[in-house]
Amino acid sequence: GAGVSQSPSNKVTEKGKDVELRCDPISGHTALYWYRQSLGQGLEFLIYFQGNSAPDKSGLPSDRFSAERTGGSVSTLTIQRTQQEDSAVYLCASSLVGGRGYTFGSGTRLTVV
């Protein structure tokens, strides 16, 4: 597609429920990143996919967070047993070569009540 598409744009969930956030990167972009933007915080790196290489999961804050990328394209970020501190905007970005010329999606605003 023309840009990075994320869905849903907004998600309100009850504490303890699982949520899935979707990212559809720009066609042909081999690198895909997930970041989290919390109120008053910068962008926190979560996970990085590059081609067929093993993903860099070093930023995932706990084992409740996981992500997969199917067929080298669409990615899903899953948060299990959501907590209120998980409330944030989750941003996805893709690029042709890792670390250069990121294109960001508009994000998913997650609110855990």
Partner 1 sequence: GNSVTQMEGPVTLSEEAFLTINCTYTATGYPSLFWYVQYPGEGLQLLLKATKADDKGSNKGFEATYRKETTSFHLEKGSVQVSDSAVYFCALSDGSGGATNKLIFGTGTLLAVQP
Binding site for partner 1 (CB under 8 A): 4, 31, 33, 35, 40-43, 45, 48, 50, 53, 56, 58-59, 91, 93, 97-102, 104-107
Distance between CA 23 and CA 94 in Å, rounded? 9
88-95 and 31-37 beta bridge pairing:
antiparallel
Question: Which residue type is seen at 15?
Answer: K
Quick one: 33 or 79, whose CB is closer to partner 1?
Answer: 33
Closest separation between CB of residue 56 and partner 1, Å?
5
Strand partners, 35: 45, 91
Shortest distance in whole angstroms from residue 15 CB to partner 1: 27
